[in-house]
């Protein structure tokens, strides 16, 4: 799994002109899923995102996690995170999991994050043409890959 985690002052997701998810302070997570991802990837990534110390403490130092600030989250499926661009100018998405694999893993990821945070997590609509609006705070943007745990 690959995640782009953005610290936000606000974020929302719209589909067909309607806002379906919106949050104040928290994180927007763009989530890419590949064919060999599984429950272990979900558990590791959820813990990592919930505990990333990317929020400022009283001294303005990034010492607090999403759990510490009781922040919110939106998770948006993003198959393009697995774009292969080595050859030519048209990205290949062959490494991205097909919906029959990706949807259950996406739903499981959202459920696990909700359990970990103890609150509802906003989502997009899998496979839809979504409009994502955010105010990136910092900006703080972190890329995490469960197959490359740096």
pTM attached to this predicted model:
0.95
State the CATH architecture for 2-145: 3-Layer(bba) Sandwich (3.50)
Q: Mind telling me the catalytic residues?
A: 78-80
The pLDDT of residue 22 is: 98
Q: Please give the Cα distance from 42 to 144 (Å, whole number).
A: 12
Q: Report the alpha-carbon distance of residue 55 to residue 62 in Å, rounded.
A: 5
Which strand (E) or helix (H) includes residue 106? helix 99-117
Quick one: pLDDT at residue 149?
Answer: 80
Task: Determine the Cα–Cα distance for residues 8 and 135; give it in Å rounded to an integer.
Answer: 5
Give the DSSP H or E segment for 46.
helix 39-51
**pLDDT tens across the length of the chain (150 residues):** 999 999 999 999 999 999 999 999 999 999 999 999 999 999 999 999 999 999 999 999 999 999 999 999 999 999 999 999 999 999 999 999 999 999 999 999 999 999 999 999 999 998 899 999 999 999 999 999 999 987
* Dihedral in degrees, nearest 10, Cα atoms 112, 21, 10, 18: 160
- Beta strand 72-77 with 26-32 is parallel
Rounded Cα gap, residues 108 and 130, in angstroms: 20
């Amino acid at each position: 799994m690959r995640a782009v985690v953005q610290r936000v002052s606000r974020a929302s997701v719209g589909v067909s002109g309607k806002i379906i998810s919106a949050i104040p302070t928290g994180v927007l997570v763009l989530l890419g899923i590949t064919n060999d991802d599984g429950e272990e990837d979900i558990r590791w990534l959820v813990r990592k995102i919930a505990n990333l110390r990317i929020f400022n403490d009283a001294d303005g130092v990034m010492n607090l996690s999403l759990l510490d600030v009781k922040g919110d989250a939106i998770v948006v499926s993003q198959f393009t995170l697995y774009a292969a661009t080595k050859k030519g100018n048209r990205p290949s998405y062959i490494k991205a999991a097909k919906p029959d694999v990706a949807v259950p893993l996406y739903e499981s990821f959202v459920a696990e994050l909700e359990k970990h945070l103890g609150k509802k997590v906003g989502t997009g609509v899998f496979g839809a043409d979504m409009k994502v609006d955010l105010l990136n705070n910092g900006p703080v943007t972190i890329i995490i890959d469960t197959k490359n745990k740096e």
